Structure 1
């Protein structure tokens, strides 16, 4: 079994202060503000991610962030899915984003690496910011969920390199979402490298499918809060 890199974001006060300081340094009238923010977030990610929150159990998480009553989970995720699909209709049509509903009521949002990152880079493409802005807006609205941001690569390059790249890309997405208002306590990141391909890495088209970042939106359910913390399989 191949190694994974997993991490949680730092606690809210530290991360928010660091993010705010960096974003404040970009003048609001600067035409390149969004590009500079993206670069700053990518640089910040390596500094603030990696602090484990394993001392927080599920019940504490639910108490701090909020939880959904068991009988309301389906309706809560239905509404969130409908709004995500409507807001991201253009991106879905252009094969930049996929939205799926899993059996445990988790929503999976898959981001095409071709749309979101340049080849062999972990900094987000500025052209993808509007899509992430829409996503962050809805993730902030439906805030009784935990977000697992997981990066994957194709099999080109060494296993260790791909593992690191997948982790960096997951972190870049996570930090962008946080900068756009998503509570950092709700986000966990993980790199899985080339270990879980969607299809065989035997053609350029298939390798493109395997290069991706997936966001698993897991509901925090009253009395079952620990399940939200469990890494997607």
Structure 2
């Protein structure tokens, strides 16, 4: 019995180490949400694996249980960890911000790189960034892609609403035309609502003129 407890404890320690996952894009050890869940799953799997194995195979059973439990426990959290790292790597130097909130990711694309003033035609310099996003969205296909257009407060409410709608639709249409399934994509304009800076300055208005892409789990993905 003492030996069995020692074997289970050893496997559990290995399982906890397994919970600190290595991100394949950064090479760094991660002990975030996915790591914690993976560690818990691995410990549980180790205990069950050892308990349900014969005495001779108890160590092997514990290690197998740890591996299986860790992978299952990491789940969607690890998926988002990996996607976030790929996006940050892909978007370095583009001016696009990547924000993380739990299992949701947000890409903030300021107006100075997306559209000319009062236009819904995608700026020529923005196509390369969008092409990079297309590749990531195809690789990571468990997210819905919600595109939201925003404007500053200059001009009428109706003008801004229409412009923000058209800009969001322009991005959505480009993604679909390049192979991202339309079933994953939604788009709408929010006009001047939800400003992220003051509309009293030119710099603030430039920040408010933006497109955001929200990546959220598709039904059944978590």
> What band does the TM-score fall into relative to the shorter chain?
0.5 to 0.7
Q: 2:186 aligns with which of 182, 185, 188?
A: 188
TM-score (normalizing by structure 1):
0.62
1:70–1:222 Cα contact (<8 Å) kept: no
* In 1, Cα distance between equivalents of 2:149 and 2:111: 9
* In 2, Cα distance between equivalents of 1:116 and 1:155: 18
- In the alignment, what sits opposite 1:155? 153
The one of the two structures with greater contact order (alpha-carbon pairs below 8 A, sep at least 6) is: 1
1:109–1:215 Cα contact (<8 Å) kept: yes
Deviation sequence 1:108-130 (CA, Å, 0-9, x none): 00111111101000010111101
- In the alignment, what sits opposite 1:73? 76
Deviation sequence 1:9-46 (CA, Å, 0-9, x none): xxxxxxxxxxxxxxxxxxxxxxxxxxxxxxxxxxxxxx
* In 2, Cα distance between equivalents of 1:188 and 1:130: 21
Deviation, structure 1 residue 220: 1.9
Deviation, structure 1 residue 87: 1.1
2:145–2:216 Cα contact (<8 Å) kept: yes
Deviation sequence 1:144-189 (CA, Å, 0-9, x none): 1101100000000001110110010000001111112111110000
1:124–1:172 Cα contact (<8 Å) kept: yes
1:222 aligned to 2:204? no
User: Where does the alignment leave 5 or more consecutive residues of structure 2 unmatched?
Assistant: 1-71
- In the alignment, what sits opposite 2:100? 101
- In the alignment, what sits opposite 1:176? 174
User: Where does the alignment leave 5 or more consecutive residues of structure 1 unmatched?
Assistant: 1-68, 225-233
2:150–2:189 Cα contact (<8 Å) kept: yes
2:152–2:192 Cα contact (<8 Å) kept: yes
Structure with higher helix content: 2
* CA RMSD after TM alignment: 1.6
* In 1, Cα distance between equivalents of 2:179 and 2:221: 27
- Once the two structures are superposed, the pairs formed by residues 1-233 of structure 1 within 5 Å of their partners are 72-91=75-94, 96-103=95-102, 105-222=103-220
TM-score (normalizing by structure 2):
0.65
* In 1, Cα distance between equivalents of 2:83 and 2:150: 25
- In the alignment, what sits opposite 1:231? none
Deviation, structure 1 residue 221: 4.7
1:108–1:217 Cα contact (<8 Å) kept: yes
- In the alignment, what sits opposite 1:37? none
Deviation, structure 1 residue 131: 0.6
1:73–1:221 Cα contact (<8 Å) kept: no
* In 1, Cα distance between equivalents of 2:184 and 2:125: 26
